[in-house]
Amino acid sequence: MFKAIFAVVAAMSLGSAAVAQSGEADSGDTRWSIAIHGGAGTIKRDKITPEQDRDIRAALSQALAAGSKILKDGGTALDAITATIMVLEDNPNFNAGKGAVFTWDRTNELDTSIMDGSDLSAGAVAGINGTKNPILLARAVKDHSPHVMLSGEGANQFSREQGLEQVTPDYYSTPRRLQQIEAVLAKEISAADVDYKFGTVGAVAQDRSGNMAAGTSTGGMTGKRWGRIGDSPIIGAGTYADNRSCAISATGSGEYFIRLGVAHEICARIRMRFSEAIKEAQLTVPKDKDDNYSYAIHASEFQLPDEEIQQIADDVIAELGELGGDGGIIYATPWGQAGYSFNTAGMYRGRATSEGEMGVAIYGDEE
Ligand code: ASP
């Protein structure tokens, strides 16, 4: 373990030359990364038509391209994830914005949140409708209200006062979502079966200035009643961003994500592991004749390796599974890593980095 950490320090101290060489796709001087999701669930090859497969991949690529361009051009992580999520909200294939699922009363109640890792500012809305792009409303709450979370009619009123684009209730509706709610109400299938392909959308990013951001947007669960609110608008459960550790957006059975505080839990473990790893690395530094370390390891020249980040995310998702929850998360770190962890058959997902990585995937067996 000590060796592995020391190897990272050595690699880092070898300098940015190595990083610059491998970053062929982007000659900028600092790293950026973005990861996106469009929901997790029983996403298997035999359940998805070739047309659906093609449409989903095209939509994920389009969303990823929108966010990547902003980051590549030096824009903020917050702007990148906002633009990315808007593309997915506008696409009827996902359960957010247009294409949001119906409640028991055949209405739409949308849940969304956004967080800026540079100052831990956050905005969220729950059970709203009427706003075309709910992520803009979450962002307006963050930027233009003294609050973190607004709900229902009050949030709708705030949206109108902010001058956000409004739509009539039928805007969100699609034939597929109508069919799903009718099937649930006719008790042909359970709400859980319908929702097993969840469809929530989210994005996380790190920009060239090292700032992190995360956002999540959803229609919730088909047939939800009694004003049910899931994890997506809850800071710390479905969304979290902190420049010191990571940015997370989740999708899955919201109740379990809330109980485990999944998004914050992953960031907290990364933050604590990072400070522990620096201390461990310092112990490996040679000492001079006065018994002082010959150099001090600074946080700015240190990073956690990919495997450790992945392990932390996988551990939390494993605990979610033990509780009975299904779903997954996407992550970005302050060290340029972007990735996923999920315990379902598949997750609509994609990632891009300044190091030239770029790709979208659907099934669990894809890279
Ligand atoms: N997590 C969302 C919720 O529980 C559902 C989803 O991810 O699709 O509302």
Residue 138 in any domain: the answer is: no
Is the CB–ligand 1 distance for residue 326 below 6 Å? Answer: no
Residue 47 sits in which domain range?
2-15+26-93+197-363
- Which pLDDT does position 46 carry in this prediction? 79
* CA 200 to ligand 1: nearest atom: 8
**Residue 339 lies inside a defined structural domain of this protein:** yes
Number of domains making up the chain: 1
The pLDDT assigned to 189 comes to: 64
Distance from residue 252's CA to the centre of ligand 1 (Å): 5
**Cα 88 to middle of ligand 1, angstroms:** 15
- Mutating to test ligand 1, I would choose from 36, 194, 251 the residue with most ligand atoms within 8 A of its C-beta, which is 251
Q: Which of 43, 232, 248, 349 to mutate to test the pocket of ligand 1 (most atoms within 8 A of CB)?
A: 232
How far, in Å, CA of 24 to CA of 20, rounded? 8
Chain Cα centroid distance, residue 332: 8
Question: Is 228 contained in some domain?
Answer: yes
Check residue 19 and give its pLDDT.
Answer: 28
> Which residues are tagged catalytic?
200
- Residue 255 inside a domain? The answer is yes
Cβ of 200 below 6 Å from ligand 1:
yes
Q: What is the distance in A from the centroid of ligand 1 to the CA of 170?
A: 21
Question: Does ligand 1 have an atom closer than 6 angstroms to the CB of 232?
Answer: yes
pLDDT value of residue 274? 96
pTM of the entire structure?
A: 0.91
Give the strand pairing for 212-218 and 110-116: antiparallel
Question: What pLDDT is attached to residue 325?
Answer: 95
Domain assignment of residue 107, yes or no: no
User: Is the CB of residue 95 below 6 angstroms from any atom belonging to ligand 1?
Assistant: yes
Measured in angstroms, how far is the CA atom of residue 359 from the centroid of ligand 1?
Answer: 24
Q: Is 112 a pocket residue for ligand 1 (Cβ < 6 Å)? A: no
Q: Do the domain assignments include residue 341?
A: yes
- Domain membership flag for residue 152: no
Ligand 1: residue whose CA is nearest its atom 8: 198
CA separation for the pair 193, 213 (Å, rounded):
32
Q: What is the CATH number of the domain that holds 63?
A: 3.60.20.30
Residue 151's CB: how many other CB atoms inside 10 A? 17
Can you tell me which atom of ligand 1 is nearest the CA of 224?
9
89 occurs within a structural domain? yes
DSSP alpha helix (H) spans, the chain: 2-13, 16-22, 50-72, 77-90, 134-144, 152-161, 175-185, 191-194, 254-260, 262-283, 306-323
CA distance 341 to 314: 6
Nearest CA to ligand 1 atom 9: 220
Which residue has the least CA distance to atom 4 on ligand 1?
A: 254
Mean pLDDT, contiguous 10-residue spans, the chain (367 residues): 37 30 52 96 81 94 97 97 98 96 96 98 98 98 98 98 97 93 79 64 97 98 94 98 98 97 98 95 92 90 94 98 97 96 95 94 89
Category of 68 on φ-ψ map: left (φ > 0), alpha (ψ -120 to 50) or beta: alpha
Q: How far is the CA of 99 from the centre of ligand 1 (A)?
A: 14
**DSSP structure string for 157-211:** HHHHHTT--B--GGGG--HHHHHHHHHHHTTSS-HHHHTTB---EEEEEE-TTS-
CA angle, corner 318, sides to 317 and 319, nearest 5? 90
What CA–CA distance (Å, rounded) separates 43 from 49?
Answer: 11
CA of 277 to the centre of ligand 1 (A): 34
Q: Which atom of ligand 1 is nearest to the CA of 255?
A: 4
Which burial class, exposed, middle or buried, applies to 227 when counting CB atoms under 10 A from its CB (0-12, 13-18, 19+)? exposed
